[in-house]
Amino acid sequence: MKRLYKAMFIVFILLVLMFASQQGLFEHVTNSNWVAHFIKAEGNYALMALLAVGALFTAVGGPRQVIAFVFGFALGGIYGGLFSTLAALLGCVLVFYTARLTIRSSLQRRFGHRLQKFEALIIHRTWLKVLMIRLLPVGSNLLTNLFAGATHISPGGFLFGSMLGYLPQMLIFSFAGAGIGLADHNQLWISIGLFIVSSLIGAYLYRSSLRKQVDELEH
C-alpha cells in the first residue's frame, strides 16, 4: 500500500508538471510584462496562481533569480523579493519532501557516498550550514534539495536556513526588476548595493573551509 501511495504521488507530480508545461505556465512566469498585466487584471487570484507556478518552476531547477526579477518588476523591490523567496521556499519544500517520501532509497543507492558526506556536513547546526551553502557561488539548488530530503537532517533547520540564504539574492534581482519596471534609479542602486554586499560575503565564504567541503560533494 505504501508503494502504491508513493507511485500515485509521483504520477500526480508528473501530471501537474505536464499540465504546466503544456499550458506554457513556465514561459508566462518568466515574462515580466505578462506577469504585471496578469496581476493587474486578476489581483489576489493572480498572486496565488503565480506563487504556485513559481514554486513549480524553481522545484524543477528553474533559476530562482529569474522569478525574483519578474516579481520585482511587477510588485516592486521589497514585495517582489519576499514573494519570490516564498515561491522558491515552497519549491524547496516540494523537492525536499518528494525526495524524502518517495525516492529516498533510490537516491541513497545512486549517491550513497556523496549523500553521506553531505549529511555529515550539515547534520550539526543545520540552519547555519545551509545558510552558508545557499550563499556560496557553488552547487545546485535542485541537488541540494534532493540530497537534503534523502538524509536524516531536520526539515525545520534545512528550510529555515534555505529561506535566509535565498533572501539576499532574491532581493538583489527583485530590486533590479523593480528599477526597470518602475524606471526608478533608486531601486537599481539598492540592487547594486545589495549585490556588492552579497558578493563580499560570498567571496569570504568561497575562501572558507566550508566551500572546500561543498566542492568535494561535486566529485
- The range of the structural domain enclosing residue 100 comes to 2-217
pLDDT of residue 147: 93
Interatomic CA distance for residues 44 and 194, integer angstroms:
29
The predicted-structure confidence for 34-74, as pLDDT tens digits, reads as follows: 999 999 999 999 999 999 999 999 998 888 999 999 999 99
Q: How many folded domains does the chain comprise?
A: 1
SS (H, E, C) the chain: CHHHHHHHHHHHHHHHHHHHHHCCHHHHHCCHHHHHHHHHHHCHHHHHHHHHHHHHHHHCCCCHHHHHHHHHHHHCHHHHHHHHHHHHHHHHHHHHHHHHHCCHHHHHHHCHHHHHHHHHHHCCCHHHHHHHHHHCCCCCHHHHHHHHHCCCCCHHHHHHHHHHHHHHHHHHHHHHHHHHHCCCHHHHHHHHHHHHHHHHHHHHHHCCHHHHHHHHHCC
pLDDT per position as a tens digit, 170-213: 998 998 888 875 555 666 677 667 777 766 666 666 666 566 56
Q: Select from 177, 201, 175 the least CA-distant residue to 190.
A: 175
Dihedral angle of Cα 187, 173, 13, 158, to the nearest 10 degrees: -110
On the question of pLDDT at 219 being above 60, the answer is: no
Q: State how far the alpha carbon of 196 is from the alpha carbons of 63, 70, 149, 168, in Å.
A: 20, 21, 32, 11
Convert the pLDDT of each residue in 3-28 to its tens digit. 665 556 666 666 666 666 666 667 88
pLDDT tens profile 110-153: 888 888 888 988 888 899 888 888 887 666 889 999 999 999 99
